[in-house]
């Protein structure tokens, strides 16, 4: 398992959020999420990664409530199929 420096982690999150905001196909989103989780679990647990993404979505919601809400719904639907705990 490789370490995930903060800047690389941030870049992966930014890419994922960009795809999410554009409502890309769930397979594409899943692939990017898996990349983040596989590369970054040494420094961030999957739940921390999910929390970080939720925090970014809440920032989007402050600037654009409609986009934020759509993005939030899209993400929650995506992870409900992913994270079974």
Q: Which residues contact 77 (CB under 8 A, 6 or more apart)?
A: 26
Phi-psi region at 5: left, alpha or beta (left = phi > 0; alpha = psi -120 to 50): beta
pLDDT above 90: residue 24: no
pTM for this prediction? 0.83
pLDDT band, residue 82 (cuts 50/70/90): low
pLDDT band, residue 72 (cuts 50/70/90): very high
Q: Which residues contact 24 (CB under 8 A, 6 or more apart)?
A: none
pLDDT above 90: residue 19: yes
Whether residue 26 contacts residue 69, with contact meaning beta carbons closer than 8 Å, is answered with: no
Alpha-carbon torsion angle 78, 49, 53, 70, nearest 10: 10
**In this predicted model, which residue has the larger pLDDT, 23 or 61?**
61
Q: What is the pLDDT of residue 85?
A: 41
Whether residue 42 contacts residue 35, with contact meaning beta carbons closer than 8 Å, is answered with: no
pLDDT above 60: residue 84: no
């Amino acid at each position: 398992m490789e370490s995930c420096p903060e800047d690389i982690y941030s870049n992966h999150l930014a890419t994922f959020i960009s795809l999410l905001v554009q409502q890309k196909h769930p397979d594409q989103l899943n692939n990017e999420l898996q990349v983040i989780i596989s590369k970054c679990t040494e420094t961030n647990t999957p739940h921390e990664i999910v929390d970080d993404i939720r925090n970014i979505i809440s920032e989007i919601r402050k600037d654009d409530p409609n986009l934020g809400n759509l993005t939030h719904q899209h993400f929650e639907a995506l992870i409900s199929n992913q994270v079974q705990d």
